Structure 1
Amino acid sequence: MSTVLIIGMGDMGERLASRLAEGGRVRRLVLAGRSPETVAAIAATVASAADCLVEPAQVDAARSDEVAELLTRKRPDLVVQCAAVRGPWAMAGRRDAAATAVAGAGLALRLPYQLSVLLAVMRATRDAGYAGPVANLSFPDVTGPILARLGLAPTLGLGNAAMIQLRVRAALRASAPDTETPLIRVIAHHSQVAAVMQADEPADPADRSRVHLGEHGRREDGLAYQAPPLAPGPRYNHVTAAGALPVLHALLPGASRLRWSTSSPGGLPGGYPVRIESGAVSLDLPPGVEQADAIAFNELQARGDGVERIDGDGTVHFISATREAVADLAPGLAEPLPVADLERRARLLDEVLA
């Protein structure tokens, strides 16, 4: 039995804590967040609902020194990073001009909210000498490749490709309830998740998520869009958590091998099918699919989130549509984003959205 540290006690952190506690494979959960009252309440709730030791821990995840000290003190077997300055649903329900423009610009514009805490956590793992796996929930399809440029990539990301895999499974189950579900392998980017969740199949086949069935990898991209539609909102977190749980279990010591689809293994852009075995994560691409082609597909799909390219030093360049969407809000809001400018750009976003 093992120890799992979850950093960030927002909605997803609490969902994953509850699922891990109930799974019977975790002996000890350490739940860490900035608010001691919130963390204590969540820890007490999770401990009351499952047979698992649950410990609250106060930490400012934006401070690498605090996270490094926590890692040294708790010695987890797995770190699950869920913390962000602002979550992706922080603007849900807003219809004002600033929020509409920022949302329309693509999620990459809000990278300062998603990347800064993750960067601090990954620096802390390096400083503390932590050698175990890190599973990242903060916009992994884009933050993973940025941190890979810095030698700080998490082991893998959670959600997105896994969510699409579950949607394909639901479509297969509905069409053939008495048939065993085949192996499903997904190559897809975060930018494609919304269309899948809303069952809105792109007209251009090149923009569809790539779905491969069975060992031979038969292409059935349309299956990604055949499950019942779900309107955008925090309800998606149910599917995110369901897709993440098998990955987290597979990363634990002594776990069985898993074949699954998930985001940013080793810092790659977008999501891929993987094998997780004995703590090692490797790509599980279908026959005839080259890694370079899968990466190129996901790099192209990153434009749907507003990413033009990522430089060797981690600087993010935004597509012209993103720059145009917020051109009237604040000078420099969509200029190239160096890692060193994350805090200043987050403050600028705060001012625009205030």
Structure 2
Amino acid sequence: MEKKKLLIVGGGDLCLQILKILAPRDAFIFYVASRDLEKVVRSCNLIQLSCLQLGTYCTIYPVAMDLSEGNVEENSMAISRIRPDVILNCASLQSWRAITQLPGALYQALDQAQFGPWLPMHLAPAYELMRAVRHSGAKAVVVNSAFPDAVNVVLDKVGMAPATGIGNVANLVPATRMAIARLALCSPQMVQVRLIAQHYFSHYVPRGGLPPVANYSLNYRVNGVECTGEFDEALIFNLVRTHFRRMGGIDGQFLTATSAVSVIEKLFCEDEVLTHAPGPGGLPGGYPVSVGMGGVRLSLPYCLTRTEAIAINQRGQRQDGIAEIRADGRVLFEFEQMAIMETLLGYSVSRMDLKDVHEYAAELGRRYHAFVKSIGKQGSARHGLYPA
């Protein structure tokens, strides 16, 4: 079978971690795109040389691509030249890790604003990429890693939704399986989970267990037998928080990379595989999905309708600071979370039109830079402001 072409946009740490897994398997022809061409050339060389060190070989090409506003034509031409089968977006204006590198008390305070207010930083480059994909006429399957729980929803409103996201809910499932297996006294390989949850829930549980207000749905089988409800769910998620607590930050991003691989590697398999992903088909939050035969589709438990699953994640979306995403792509933000951003950063937005996303992203970036400087840190780069 002819190898598929995988274009990864955004040459940061997540891209490298995914390549470290996939490249030695030599399953794709790889293209890595970034506006920092010198850096991406060195990254591609690193991967190719490392494969040779392992006794294998991969085909990998660096590509110049700038997802700033106004580069749709150039980006479209690059996509048309490559003709990728899969495009993975890893580009963001600010890494989710940025605030984790602040002094502890400041991080805890800013983290209470949740992830929703940071939406412009992830939506802006994804919007430019999807505009270029549409302009190119490419039929590639697009997978988005940048806050797909909300970004994919906004883009769906204007007919440009990626096929799916990766990470978030998917990152919570392995520990949930391990916890259920511990309670059931069996191997985690015997446990099958179907979890519906938005980013807020998957962010909260590893740090605090089951939230006081918990919007999610958990169904599970053990050795093929339906066992949902057999174990206390607060206990299950407390085990995730304690016994199966894992490394976070840049080290923990390896789990997100494996989530991406579980989707990308199975996309064109003849047999579908059950996994989890956020934002499939532009839906809010995360779901169990079947991946294969060139696409991604929902694989909900029989006891839950599509409408019910979406409603669960829309409630979780509000906990994450996004009140509503309207049919025209306009985003309304929750007052409580945005008030924290205003107190700490001097940044406050009640609503945002998609056409203005670059303006809001630039303003938020300026405010965060000023905040970092005000607490005596040396430059924004040290705090995780990563360009596409």
Same fold? TM cut 0.5:
yes
Q: Compare 261-270 and 336-345 and name the one that shifted more.
A: 336-345
- Change in CA separation of 1:75 and 1:181 when aligned onto 2, cut-off 3 Å: same
Shift of 1:224: 4.1
- Change in CA separation of 1:102 and 1:317 when aligned onto 2, cut-off 3 Å: farther
Q: 2:65 aligned with 1:52, yes or no? A: no
**Which residue matches 2:364?**
349
Whether the aligned pair in 1 keeps the contact of 2:141 and 2:295 (CA below 8 Å) is no
Structure 2 runs not aligned, ≥5 long: 52-56, 370-388
Map Cα deviations across residues 64-115 of structure 1 (whole Å, 9 max, x no partner).
Answer: 2232111111111110000011111123322499877654322111111100
Map Cα deviations across residues 103-155 of structure 1 (whole Å, 9 max, x no partner).
Answer: 43221111111000000111111111111210000000011111111111000
**Which residue matches 1:261?**
276
In the alignment, which of 210, 215, 220 is matched to residue 201 of structure 1?
210
Whether the aligned pair in 2 keeps the contact of 1:146 and 1:314 (CA below 8 Å) is yes
**Which residue matches 2:265?**
249
**Which residue matches 1:156?**
164
What amino acid is aligned across from residue 114 of structure 2 in structure 1?
G
**Cα distance in 2, alignment partners of residues 140 and 197 from structure 1:** 19
Q: 2:200 aligned with 1:187, yes or no? A: no
Whether the aligned pair in 2 keeps the contact of 1:201 and 1:208 (CA below 8 Å) is no
SS in 2 for 1:40: helix
Q: Compare 108-117 and 236-245 and name the one that shifted more.
A: 236-245
Q: 2:251 aligned with 1:235, yes or no? A: yes
- Change in CA separation of 1:166 and 1:66 when aligned onto 2, cut-off 3 Å: farther
**Which residue matches 1:69?**
77
Identity across aligned pairs (percent)? 26
- Change in CA separation of 1:194 and 1:48 when aligned onto 2, cut-off 3 Å: same
Whether the aligned pair in 2 keeps the contact of 1:162 and 1:261 (CA below 8 Å) is yes
**Which residue matches 1:135?**
143
Question: Structure 1-normalised TM-score?
Answer: 0.91
In the alignment, which of 12, 16, 19 is matched to residue 18 of structure 2?
16
In the alignment, which of 73, 92, 99 is matched to residue 91 of structure 1?
99
Q: Compare 63-72 and 178-187 and name the one that shifted more.
A: 178-187
Structure 1 runs not aligned, ≥5 long: none
**Cα distance in 2, alignment partners of residues 242 and 285 from structure 1:** 22
**Cα distance in 1, alignment partners of residues 137 and 110 from structure 2:** 38
SS in 2 for 1:154: coil
Q: 2:337 aligned with 1:322, yes or no? A: yes
What amino acid is aligned across from residue 54 of structure 1 in structure 2?
I
Whether the aligned pair in 2 keeps the contact of 1:258 and 1:275 (CA below 8 Å) is yes
Q: Compare 164-173 and 91-100 and name the one that shifted more.
A: 91-100
Q: 2:219 aligned with 1:212, yes or no? A: yes
Question: Structure 2-normalised TM-score?
Answer: 0.83
**Cα distance in 2, alignment partners of residues 97 and 350 from structure 1:** 21
Where relative contact order (Cα < 8 A, 6+ residues apart) is larger, the structure is 2
**Cα distance in 2, alignment partners of residues 320 and 226 from structure 1:** 33
Q: 2:220 aligned with 1:226, yes or no? A: no
- Change in CA separation of 1:162 and 1:245 when aligned onto 2, cut-off 3 Å: same
- Change in CA separation of 1:96 and 1:246 when aligned onto 2, cut-off 3 Å: closer
Q: 2:169 aligned with 1:169, yes or no? A: no
Shift of 1:298: 0.3
Q: Compare 87-96 and 332-341 and name the one that shifted more.
A: 87-96
Q: 2:30 aligned with 1:29, yes or no? A: yes
